[in-house]
Structure 1
Amino acid sequence: MKRKNILVLLASFMLFASACSDDSEVDSIKPTIDIGFTNAFPNNCDTIYFGESFQLKLRFSDNAELGSYSIDIHNNFDHHSHSTEVSECDLGPVKEPVNPYVLIDDYSIPQGLKAYETNLTISVPATNEGVLLDEGDYHFYISLTDSEGWSVQKGLSIKMLHR
């Protein structure tokens, strides 16, 4: 009788354990940012001009579902680094910022997509409160997050100049 109770208890436990298992796969793969295609912009060492607009052209992909992306443009006058690119750009002299340009924005990606190509127009002002923005070395930092929270970053060195 004792043996029968143990077998029933063991069978019940196994049935309970198998019923509670999660059959869905866990996403453990980071998304990707692609700038290696024709018309991608910006690329490492590209130039963006104050007082003009440019088209942000990036390709994002993920094995499950994309989430959102952000861009951060800030000065690199002190030559700090977050570059993820192998090639190095020619840097101007180290200098103190006086009126640097800064852009930090977040963007959503439509739900359910595994691939997405940006086609975003970004207008860059020439001045801030009537004062010309500082030209020189800047970083263009892109962060991409998938729907599960995995993220990847790409740091590009760019020049920002007045024409």
Structure 2
Amino acid sequence: MKYLRKLLIVTFVILTVVACGDDEDPDKEKPIIDISIEDAFPTNCDTIYFGETFELKLLFTDNEELGSFSIDIHNNFDHHSHSTEVTECNPGANKEPINPFAFIESFSIPDGLTIYETNQLITIPAGNNDGLYDDGDYHFFIRVTDKAGWSTYKGLSIKMFHKQTAQ
């Protein structure tokens, strides 16, 4: 009798665990970054000016739920490439960085959204304690991650100048 009772308890526990399992298909789709919307900024080959503020305007979509996004701006003075769709836009001459600008920041997306249009204001300083930032070729990377952890990257080639030295 004790054996039957133990067997029933084990069977009950197994059935409970199986019944409570997640029957839904896991999210297997990456989110999408859309830079073709009206007034999207930046897009490939755009110019951003030091000492000014710009509105980051992009559209993110996901089949289930968006999570967060980040941007990374770094110099491309040596015209290196990445495994994204970064393309060159009339690159300047290769040069050694003296005081290059670098920016990495993450932003949250409100819970429950499958579509999100950014309207983030980003201020680019003119310089730091070492002086004015270097003008020239930069990469602008955008990464969006959904709640399931899938992410998509988009890389853009941009120019960054001080207004008084804009070329």
Pairwise same-fold verdict (TM > 0.5): yes
Q: Distance in 1 between matches of 2:53 and 2:18?
A: 57
- Is 1:30 aligned to 2:30, yes or no? yes
Q: How does 1:3-152 map to 2 (within 5 A)?
A: 16=15, 19=19, 21-82=21-82, 84-85=84-85, 88-129=88-129, 131-152=131-152
**Is the contact made by 1:70 and 1:142 (CA closer than 8 Å) also made in structure 2?**
yes
* TM-score normalised by the chain length of structure 1: 0.86
**Is the contact made by 1:44 and 1:85 (CA closer than 8 Å) also made in structure 2?**
no
Equivalent in the alignment of 1:154: 154
* TM-score normalised by the chain length of structure 2: 0.84
**Is the contact made by 1:27 and 1:64 (CA closer than 8 Å) also made in structure 2?**
yes
Question: Alignment length, in residue pairs?
Answer: 154
Structure 2 unaligned runs (5+)? 1-7
RMSD value over aligned CA atoms? Answer: 2.2
Q: Distance in 2 between matches of 1:133 and 1:161?
A: 9
Q: Distance in 2 between matches of 1:113 and 1:18?
A: 30
Structure 1 unaligned runs (5+)? 1-8
Structure 1 stretches of 4+ moved >6 Å: none
**Is the contact made by 2:139 and 2:157 (CA closer than 8 Å) also made in structure 1?**
yes
